[in-house]
Every structure is written in structure tokens, then in C-alpha cells.
Chain A
Amino acid sequence: MDDFRVIGKSFSRVDALDKALGKTVYGYDLSLPGMLHAKVLRSKLPHAEIININTKEAEKIDGVEAIITASDLPDEKIGLFVKDRGVFARDKVRFIGEAIAAVAATTPEIAEKALAAIEVKYEELPGVFDPREAMLEGAPRVHTEYFDVIAQGPREVKNNICATRQIKRGNIEKGFQEADLIVENVYPTPMVEHCHVEPNAALAIVDSSGKVTVWSNTQLPFFIRENLAHAFQMPLSKIRVIVTPIGGGFGGKSGVFMCEPYCVALALKTGKPVKMVTTRKEEFIASTVRHAMRIETKTGVKKDGTLIAKQVRITQDCGAYCDVGDFVLLYACLFSSGPYRIPNVDIEGVLVYTNKQIGGAMRAFGTPQVAFAHESDMDIIAEKLGMDPVDLRRRNLIEEGDYTVTGQRVDWSGPRKTLDAVVDKADGKSVSEKSYDEKKKRGRGIACGQYASGALNMVDYASATLKMNEDGSVNVSVSNAELGQGVITILSQIVAEELGLSLEDVFISNYDTETTPIDTIGANASRSTFVCGETARIAAEKARAQLITQAAQFFEANKDDIELKDRLACVKGSPDKCIPIADLCRISLIVHGEPIVSSGFYKTQRVVPMDPETGQGKPVDHYVYGTSLVEVEVDEETGNIKVISVVSAHDVGKAINPKLVEAQFQGGIVMGLGYALSEEILTMKGETLNPNLHDYKVPTPLDIPSITSVILEGHGSEGPFGAKGVGEPPIIPIAAAVANAIYDAVKVRIKSLPITPEKVLMALKSKNQKGGIQ
């Protein structure tokens, strides 16, 4: 049945050669004549009143062209879903790294010098750095109210609680009463940083009519446009955002506070082009991070291993401003009980403001955190029941016809299929390496995960426009940004397949708010292939219909008999009746006055928003499932952990480009290993101790194990050719699988991330002391 010519083939990325040769012009590389360089002065205190800002000395420095603070801008708050933050701190600062002033100067050096010459008088306030302390009566208040975009009104903030979320199903008390075993655990997870190679960057110009154009390496251009319009009280039509090629994002370019508003404010003030690029330190302290969470679980299970009740309490460290924290909390709560059939569920989550850097979007929103908890729980339970961890999972994994915690019917047994696929691939024994006097033990751990392709709990839509050219090539403008995931290759394959063209005939335009139709949430939420891909396919399908109409007319044939392939339109079964698609494009335009242009729009069909009290509803348009198996070798004397191999299986619907799907597996797995074993932003009283890439430890190529990817097709989506998103899911099970593998190897259970050699060794020592074994 699979007679695709372009779909399902592992083409190299269309942008690969330029990137390999250094020819791609990233946001970081942009330059215009007469351009000024912007730098932002950031708060040195975690919580303080601003008494006075003195810029006089800084203004005198030769080469400084403008300095702006909150007093130069309208008193407006901006933000993604919750508007709780000004472009600059106005009366008080709420975290170290918050913007206080911005300088435009002829060189970055001068701008930096000017920052040092700005004097800020603070009156320090007591800060709060632990979400649980922040909720106590009498704790310092980070905010008193914010503007809720969805509710369109101000909301009071009590006890620093930014948002709450709950999901209730069945009867939790009854569930625990019926349980033969109840297991309770607490799992703290750290803040981590995206560490994309290219920092955030933007360049803004203002024309004589006051119209602003911003080039930015953003994942969210329409949010940038909307927030800039709001911040500067300008109409949307006066702001154009053009997305540049992006050197990695992972959610770290999904904010609106890094560069754009400062470039625009300074460009408006000076009338000159203004560029800003963040430093690595700013990426750590002033940009968003993955939220730290504390996840408390209580699981009730029958003797035979049947899960009967699950209670989860999530405390999520928001940081100083909301950003997408409420959305992350929603993901965390929804996925916190795992891909299991559990009749009685009680999940509550709370998002709490603190005087720290801000949690935001990061690959698989909130889900790696909760997967670490629910999958560690599963292995702990399996051991207590004397069951094999795989058998325990098989008994409980959600199957077709079951209902999720929100009462959404499951439409296929994806979780078990991914588990079976991994177990099949990973046979063979695990053997420890033994050399003289080194005590190394091997172990294996498995973990399952679930996620959503397409934005959660909301209708997710995207749009596209398409134009065919007189040489038969096609330009498509789709609302999605290339950030290294390969989306322009995927979109090209989809369009080429639909139109009978080759990959090289398709050109995906830069994402531009002026020429690309509106979209929801950009390059996020594992939606690019699914939602944006379907949008592009619909646009191509419409162009295809126009080509077929033209061809049928030309050959005086029935439309159903026309096929498009190899750049030709042919009458089926008549090899002599073929016309180049390029000719059809010209005939259509010149003879019939009908240029072949089309548009596409797709919105997700199935979402029914969750009830705020019970959480019941259909928040997920397409569930995606995955399982990973990790093998580790643990040195019992040093606690060192070497990851030997990872096998992952994910349910992708249809792999448009298998090589790119594998690349997403590999990227997610490596990021997951960093999360499991080495990455953690360390702070003390709101100050980041390791804001650089030598003290903050991302895995290096030498830390990467052997990786086997099992691409599970077969359960298609409503998306293009059945494809579902796979950008985020591969990271989800990794930390838990590592923790479970370490337990299998040396029988110590580490319940906090990252699992460092020191934690393992100390746990081994305390186990040996308790057990009396030496």
C-alpha cells in the first residue's frame, strides 16, 4: 500500500549543506549598516524595591546612544498566557537577572561599559526561594496580583500561588482501602537549562512611518508580535516579526523577554537598527529554565499488581514570573499517573512564585519530571510485590477502550506496543565488565511515557499559503520555524508528495508574521509535523486539485484519470498523454488567468477542555507513547555511572523521514541522560552558582552510549500521512529508566535528580551500614 515516492524516505536535510559549510545566516549573524548594539542591565538582588536609577554617568560615555528604563515605556505588563511582567522592572525587582535598563551603543564593549556606569539604588526585601516556604502565611510576597489573559481580568495572588490544577476520578479513599499495598515516595527534580548552541538574538529597525521590523530567532513569532504591540501600545500591523534560522531552541526561544522588546525600544528611541545577543550567563540566569518540581506520590496496588489508586501532589517552582508555568503544570498533572489504567485518581498541582529565575517551556513540558516519579514508583512497587517490572507494567498499561485519568477514551494499545518493541530488541544478557580491583555492576531499567502531539487542552491550529511558479516549483509559507529539528525538510517532503514533485522543487519560506498566516504556538508542543505538516498538505492538496483540473481540461479527460508524478501530469494508462507540471502552471496563469495559489488551514478536532474542578475532559488530541530501556554500569566504589546503551521505541504514526525521526530520538535521549546524571542549575538565595558550560555539565560526545531507535508506525493520526510529533517524547522516560537501571545494578534507589556518583556512593554506604554487609 505504501507507494509513496517522497514520504517515508530518509532524505538529508535540505538545509544541511549550508549549515555544514557555515553559510546559514542565523539570528546571531545578522548585521545592518549603522547598527547599534544593545545590552541589558540586570538586577543583582533577588528581591528589592528600586529606589533610584541614575544613568547620567553612563550617558556621558562616548558611543552610548540611548539608555532606557521602565519610565520610558508605557506601564504595561506582558507575558505568554499570564501577563505579570513589564519589559523592565518598574518599582521592584523579583529575581537576579531581571531587566532594569537597556543601553544602545556603537559597540557591544561600550554598551557593557555603560551598564557598569549605571547606578541602581535598591532597598533589599526578604526573598523567598523555596516554593513550600513561599506558600506559608507571612512569607515574602513576590506578587499580589496579575492579569490573566484567558480570563481577561486581574487575579489576586494569595500565598504566592500563581496557579493550581486538579484531576479527580473515582474514589481515592475507597481505592486506598481496597489496596493490599500502599507505597509513598517523594521525588525532587532540579532546574535545568536548554543549552541551545546559539543564544537568543534579535535585530530591530523602525521605518519613517514608525513601523517596526524585528528579525529574531524565536520559536513564537506571533506571540512576540502580540506582546510587542501590547508593550508599546502599537497596532499589530505596525509590527513585523521575521524568524531567522535558529541554532537550537528546545523551548528556550519561546519567551518574549530576551531581546526583542529591548531592541525595539532602543530602535524607536534612536531611529537606528539595534541588535542584541544574549550571553551564556544571561541564558542561565535571565532566560527560562525547566521547572524544578517536588512530586509526592502515593500509590495503591492489589497483591496481583493491579494499580487501584494514585494520589499525586506536585509543587512546581514558578520562579519570579509565570511565563508558561500554568501550562507546564497542566502537562505535569495530566501525565503524572503514567500511561496506566487506574480507577481512582487524585492529582493536585500548585505553581508557586519564588525569587528565582523563571521556569518556562522546555522539551516535553513538565513530563520528564513526573515520568521520573511514576516510573520509579513502578519499579519500587514491582520489587515490593516480587514481580518483574515489565510484567507489572504489562498488567497495568492502558489499552484500547480504556479511559484515561480525564475520562478520555484510549484509541489504541500504544503503550504496550512500545514496551513490547523495546523488550524484543533488547534481548541478550547484561554482563558486567570486570577488571582488577574495580567493582563494576551492570543493570537494566525500563520506563514508559506518554505525551500529546499538538497543543494540550486547546484547539491547536496553523495555516499556510502556497504559490506555484512558472517552472513548476512551489513556494510555501507555513507557520513553523526551523530550529534544527528538520521541519522544512519534512514540510518539503509532504508538499512534494502531494504535488508529484521532487524535494528540490519545494521552497519553504522564512516564517514571517507579514506573509505567513496566523498560528497558535509556533515550534512547540510536538506539533510541527502533525499540525503544521497537515496545514501544508491541505494547501498542497488544493493546488493539486487546480493542477488536475487544468490537466483534465488540456487532455479532455476525466479528472479521476489524471495523476501527478515525476513533475508530470498524465492520463493514467496513456503514456503519451503527459504534460509537465511547469507547463500547466503557465497555462493556468496566462491562458486562464488563474495563478495556482492556495491556502491551508488545519485545526485539531478532538479536544474538549478539561473541567477546572475535576479535570475531566479530552485535553489530548493525539496521545503519543514511548518506552526506553537503559543499561548502565555502576562502579560500586566510586558511584560512577556509565551508560552502556539505550533502546527506545516511540509511536510516531508515520515517519515522514525516518532518519530525522531517529535524530529526534537521539537528541531527546542524550538530553534525558544529562537530566538524569549531570545537569542541575545550582542556586543560593536566588543567585546562580554555575551559569556557564563548565560548571553546568551537559553530556559530551564521549558520554553518549549506543542508541537503538525503534520507530513504531501503524497507528496513524489525522495529520499528514498519519504522522504524529516526536520532538519531545524521547526525553520523557530516560531519567526514570536510568534510575531503575542503577537500582538493578547496585540496589540503591535515588529519588532526586541528577543522580550523581556522590549520591550513589553515599546511598551504597548507608545501605551497607544498615544491612551490616561490608
Chain B
Amino acid sequence: MILPQFEYLVPTTINEACNLLVKYKGSQVLAGGTDLLVDMKGGTIAPSCVIDVKKIEGLDRIEYDEVNGLRLGSLVTIRMIETSAIIREKYPPLYQAARVFASPQIRNRATIGGNICNAIPSADMPSPLIAMGASVKIMGPNSERKVGVEEFFTGIRKNVLAVGEILTGIEIPPLPKRAEGIYIKHTLRRAMDLAIVGVAVLLERENGGDRCKDIRIALTSVAPTPIRARKAEAILRGQEVSEETIFNASEEAGKEINPRRSSMRASPEYRREMVKVLVRRAVLGTWKAV
């Protein structure tokens, strides 16, 4: 439970950080440290070099305009998201996910970039971002690219970042006018707990009608990565929304998951049941509110 020895480097520009990552193979990026340092103390990883990106300026900003939507630097803390009036007003699922994230102490340290890059199945930030169509900005030594949050994850603790690449920001487009979103996290405790299941929904209502124009359903903690419940979405998209279609969609969502059998937190059967119940509640809730 003691930190192993490592080299500690503090770049001040993104480019410098990228170059250090290339130079020092097997190094790790340190942002809030709430995952990295715990893993290092527990002995699950032992990087020879830790690259602290907190001194890079400009990565902790929250910017919003009606045309481009929301842009978050990767060092924006969960607490900044939780307390941002604009996020609370314009992107409620992100606010809701920040509210139920770990504890206030952790929220003060943990960053949205770290939560995404760490890529654990129970992370709270990715599902609402996926539901809202967010993408991440990735910078490398001589490159820059944009990847949908949905495409970012490749497995448990695995992502698309190549050696030398850093996630520098998150972009969420403006939400459609007649849309409503929600994030529901199911836990045993009411704080400081990982999701048994998390459900994020963004639902857009057809103008003046009883149809669902578009919907995204993203699920946390039910597969090696956050996933979309695409078949469930298809049942609702462009359709009239009724208790029956919602029920059918939530049953379908229950079939789309791939939970671990060995989890201490819940059996796959229970997770499946929770996906069905919470997808139904989330869709019904957003439908009634929109």
C-alpha cells in the first residue's frame, strides 16, 4: 500500500507531454490521480514514469455557446461539472452523473478526462456523454483527431489512444430543442459507490406529435465498455411512444448487455433486470418531461 518509485515529469504544453509519452515507454498520465495513485499503491500497475499534465494551461475550462455547444477541457474536475450552472441547465444528464460520482472529496480531484481514459466499465461520465452524442479531442505529437465517445473504448481499461496521444477535451453538441435527458445510477449505497447499472437516455420528441424523433440509450457497468442499447432505441425511434413500446424497448435493452459473471456487486441476472427497469423509467421519465 505504498507508492513504488517512479520518475515524475511535469510538462507545461500538450506537445511536450506527447513527446514525453513517446520518449518514456510505459509511462502513465497523471491528472486527478484518484484512479492512478490507488492502482499504483495497490500494486496493479507500476509505471516507471508518471507524467503530470496538471501544469498544462487551458485544459480546465468549461466553454459554451449555442452554436457549438459545450467544450470541456480534459482537466475539468467532476466538482466543476457538478457546480456549473450552464451544464446543469443545458446538459442535465452530465450534471446528474457528476452529482452521484464517488464522494465530494473525490469529485474535487477527479477529472472528466481521467474518468474517460481510465475506461472502467462502471465509470459514470461516459454513458451520459454517449447519450448526448459527445466526442473527444485527441492530440498526439504531430496529430490531432476527434473520436466519438462511443468509439473511444475498446475493452476493460482499454481505449483508442495510441502511444504519445493525450485526450485534451470533450465536445458535446447543443441538444435538440425538444429533447430531454437523464442519468440514473443504481447503487447499493447512496454515495461513494460504483454503479451496479447506470442508464443514460436522451430522447427527442417529434415536433407536435406523439412520436419519438430520436433516442440514444447508453448503459454503464453492463459490458466491458459503456454500450448503446441500439435495438432498444430502434424500437422507439420514429415510433409512437406508448407504455407498450417503452416496455418492449426496455426488455430489448435487457438482452443487449454482456455483464461479467464474476462481479461482486451483482449477478448478471440482477443486472439484466435492472437494465429493464431503469431503461423503462428513464425513457418514461424523459418522455413525460419533454
Instruction: With both chains docked as a complex, state the minimum distance between the C-beta of A750 and any C-beta of chain B, in angstroms.
Output: 15
Residue of A nearest to B103 (CB): A700
Give the docked Cα–Cα distance between A761 and B273 (Å).
9
Could you say which residues of chain B place their CB within 8 Å of the CB of A690?
264
Cross-chain contact of A702 among B186, B191, B267, B280 (Cβ < 8 A)? B191
Q: Is the CB of B190 within 8 A of A702?
A: yes
Instruction: With both chains docked as a complex, state the minimum distance between the C-beta of B263 and any C-beta of chain A, in angstroms.
Output: 10
Interface-lining segment among A12-20, A398-406, A691-699: A691-699
Cross-chain contact of A438 among B103, B274, B281 (Cβ < 8 A)? B281
Q: Is the CB of B281 within 8 A of A108?
A: no
Q: Is the CB of B188 within 8 A of A699?
A: no
Known: A436-B284, A700-B190. A638 touches B267 (CB 8 A): no
Could you say which residues of chain B place their CB within 8 Å of the CB of A112?
1-2
Task: Report A349-386 CB contacts with B as 1/0, cut-off 8 Å.
Answer: 00000000000000000000000000000000000000
Is there a chain A Cβ closer than 8 Å to B285's Cβ?
yes
Q: Is the CB of B192 within 8 A of A109?
A: no
Known: A436-B284, A703-B190, A761-B270. A281 touches B277 (CB 8 A): no
Cross-chain contact of B189 among A280, A682, A703, A758 (Cβ < 8 A)? A703
Is there a chain A Cβ closer than 8 Å to B50's Cβ?
no
Could you say which residues of chain B place their CB within 8 Å of the CB of A280?
1
Known: A109-B2, A280-B1. A694 touches B192 (CB 8 A): yes
Is there a chain A Cβ closer than 8 Å to B288's Cβ?
yes
Instruction: With both chains docked as a complex, state the minimum distance between the C-beta of A108 and any C-beta of chain B, in angstroms.
Output: 6
Could you say which residues of chain A place their CB within 8 Å of the CB of B273?
761
Could you say which residues of chain B place their CB within 8 Å of the CB of A645?
none
Is there a chain A Cβ closer than 8 Å to B194's Cβ?
yes
Instruction: With both chains docked as a complex, state the minimum distance between the C-beta of A198 and any C-beta of chain B, in angstroms.
Output: 15
Give the docked Cα–Cα distance between A676 and B188 (Å).
12
Give the docked Cα–Cα distance between A695 and B265 (Å).
8
Instruction: With both chains docked as a complex, state the minimum distance between the C-beta of A87 and any C-beta of chain B, in angstroms.
Output: 23
Within 8 A of A (CB), among B95-127: 103
Q: Is the CB of B2 within 8 A of A758?
A: no
Within 8 A of B (CB), among A427-453: 436-438
Could you say which residues of chain A place their CB within 8 Å of the CB of B192?
694, 700
Q: Is the CB of A689 within 8 A of B2?
A: no
Is there a chain A Cβ closer than 8 Å to B193's Cβ?
yes
Give the docked Cα–Cα distance between A690 and B277 (Å).
28
Is there a chain A Cβ closer than 8 Å to B266's Cβ?
yes
**Which bracket fits the contact residues of A?**
20 to 34
Q: Is the CB of A638 within 8 A of B274?
A: yes
Q: Is the CB of B1 within 8 A of A678?
A: no
Within 8 A of B (CB), among A93-135: 108-109, 112
Cross-chain contact of B264 among A437, A638, A682, A703 (Cβ < 8 A)? A682
Could you say which residues of chain A place their CB within 8 Å of the CB of B190?
700, 702-703
Give the docked Cα–Cα distance between A438 and B277 (Å).
9
Give the docked Cα–Cα distance between A281 and B192 (Å).
19
Q: Is the CB of A437 within 8 A of B189?
A: no
Known: A436-B288, A437-B281. A697 touches B266 (CB 8 A): no
Within 8 A of A (CB), among B253-290: 264, 266-267, 269-270, 273-274, 277-278, 280-281, 284-285, 288
Task: Report A688-724 CB contacts with B as 1/0, cut-off 8 Å.
Answer: 0110001101011111000000000000000000000
Known: A697-B193, A700-B192, A757-B188. A762 touches B270 (CB 8 A): yes
How many B residues face the partner with a CB closer than 8 A? 25
Is there a chain B Cβ closer than 8 Å to A55's Cβ?
no
Instruction: With both chains docked as a complex, state the minimum distance between the C-beta of B193 and any C-beta of chain A, in angstroms.
Output: 7
Instruction: With both chains docked as a complex, state the minimum distance between the C-beta of B198 and any C-beta of chain A, in angstroms.
Output: 13
Instruction: With both chains docked as a complex, state the minimum distance between the C-beta of B10 and any C-beta of chain A, in angstroms.
Output: 22
Most B CB contacts (10 A, CB to CB) among A109, A281, A637 go to A637
Could you say which residues of chain A place their CB within 8 Å of the CB of B194?
694
Task: Report A248-290 CB contacts with B as 1/0, cut-off 8 Å.
Answer: 0000000000000000000000000000000111000000000
Residue of A nearest to B274 (CB): A638
Q: Is the CB of B264 within 8 A of A678?
A: no
Known: A690-B264, A762-B270. A699 touches B189 (CB 8 A): yes
Give the docked Cα–Cα distance between A762 and B288 (Å).
30
Is there a chain B Cβ closer than 8 Å to A752's Cβ?
no
Could you say which residues of chain A place their CB within 8 Å of the CB of B188?
677-678, 697, 756-757
Instruction: With both chains docked as a complex, state the minimum distance between the C-beta of B280 and any C-beta of chain A, in angstroms.
Output: 7
**How many inter-chain contacts with C-beta < 8 Å in the A-B complex?**
57
Could you say which residues of chain B place their CB within 8 Å of the CB of A438?
281
Q: Is the CB of A695 within 8 A of B264?
A: yes
Could you say which residues of chain B place their CB within 8 Å of the CB of A700?
103, 189-192
Could you say which residues of chain A place their CB within 8 Å of the CB of B193?
694, 697
Give the docked Cα–Cα distance between A279 and B189 (Å).
24
Instruction: With both chains docked as a complex, state the minimum distance between the C-beta of B62 and any C-beta of chain A, in angstroms.
Output: 26
Could you say which residues of chain B place their CB within 8 Å of the CB of A756?
188
Residue of B nearest to A698 (CB): B189
Q: Is the CB of B267 within 8 A of A279?
A: no
Known: A112-B2, A279-B1, A436-B285. A758 touches B191 (CB 8 A): no
Give the docked Cα–Cα distance between A638 and B288 (Å).
21
Task: Report B50-80 CB contacts with A as 1/0, cut-off 8 Å.
Answer: 0000000000000000000000000000000
Give the docked Cα–Cα distance between A436 and B285 (Å).
8
Instruction: With both chains docked as a complex, state the minimum distance between the C-beta of A104 and any C-beta of chain B, in angstroms.
Output: 16
Task: Report B188-229 CB contacts with A as 1/0, cut-off 8 Å.
Answer: 111111100000000000000000000000000000000000
Give the docked Cα–Cα distance between A701 and B186 (Å).
18
Give the docked Cα–Cα distance between A758 and B284 (Å).
23
Give the docked Cα–Cα distance between A757 and B280 (Å).
18
Instruction: With both chains docked as a complex, state the minimum distance between the C-beta of B187 and any C-beta of chain A, in angstroms.
Output: 9
Cross-chain contact of A437 among B270, B274, B284 (Cβ < 8 A)? B284
Q: Is the CB of A638 within 8 A of B2?
A: no
Could you say which residues of chain A place their CB within 8 Å of the CB of B269?
762
Instruction: With both chains docked as a complex, state the minimum distance between the C-beta of A675 and any C-beta of chain B, in angstroms.
Output: 14
Most B CB contacts (10 A, CB to CB) among A109, A280, A702, A758 go to A758
Known: A678-B188, A697-B193. A638 touches B277 (CB 8 A): yes
Instruction: With both chains docked as a complex, state the minimum distance between the C-beta of A682 and any C-beta of chain B, in angstroms.
Output: 6
Give the docked Cα–Cα distance between A303 and B193 (Å).
47
Give the docked Cα–Cα distance between A438 and B186 (Å).
14
Could you say which residues of chain B place their CB within 8 Å of the CB of A695?
264
Could you say which residues of chain A place their CB within 8 Å of the CB of B1?
112, 279-281
Could you say which residues of chain A place their CB within 8 Å of the CB of B277?
637-638
Known: A690-B264, A758-B267. A697 touches B189 (CB 8 A): yes
Give the docked Cα–Cα distance between A689 and B263 (Å).
10
Instruction: With both chains docked as a complex, state the minimum distance between the C-beta of B120 and any C-beta of chain A, in angstroms.
Output: 12
Could you say which residues of chain A place their CB within 8 Å of the CB of B267?
758
Q: Is the CB of B266 within 8 A of A638?
A: no
Give the docked Cα–Cα distance between A682 and B270 (Å).
18
Q: Is the CB of A108 within 8 A of B270?
A: no
Residue of A nearest to B42 (CB): A692
Residue of B nearest to A438 (CB): B281
Instruction: With both chains docked as a complex, state the minimum distance between the C-beta of A234 and any C-beta of chain B, in angstroms.
Output: 32
Could you say which residues of chain B place their CB within 8 Å of the CB of A281?
1
Give the docked Cα–Cα distance between A279 and B192 (Å).
20
Give the docked Cα–Cα distance between A576 and B269 (Å).
83
Residue of B nearest to A112 (CB): B2
Give the docked Cα–Cα distance between A367 and B281 (Å).
41
Give the docked Cα–Cα distance between A109 and B41 (Å).
11
Residue of A nearest to B278 (CB): A638
Give the docked Cα–Cα distance between A638 and B188 (Å).
11
Q: A436-B284, A758-B267, A761-B270 known; 15 other A-B pairs, CB under 8 Å?
A: A108-B2, A280-B1, A281-B1, A436-B285, A438-B281, A638-B186, A682-B264, A690-B264, A697-B193, A699-B189, A700-B189, A700-B190, A700-B192, A757-B270, A758-B270
14 contacts between A and B (CB under 8 A): A108-B2, A436-B284, A437-B280, A637-B277, A638-B278, A697-B189, A700-B191, A700-B192, A702-B190, A757-B270, A758-B266, A758-B267, A758-B270, A762-B269
Give the 7 A-B CB pairs with smallest separation, nearest first: A702-B190, A758-B270, A700-B191, A702-B191, A279-B1, A637-B277, A109-B2
Binding site for A on B (CB under 8 A): 1-2, 103, 186, 188-194, 264, 266-267, 269-270, 273-274, 277-278, 280-281, 284-285, 288
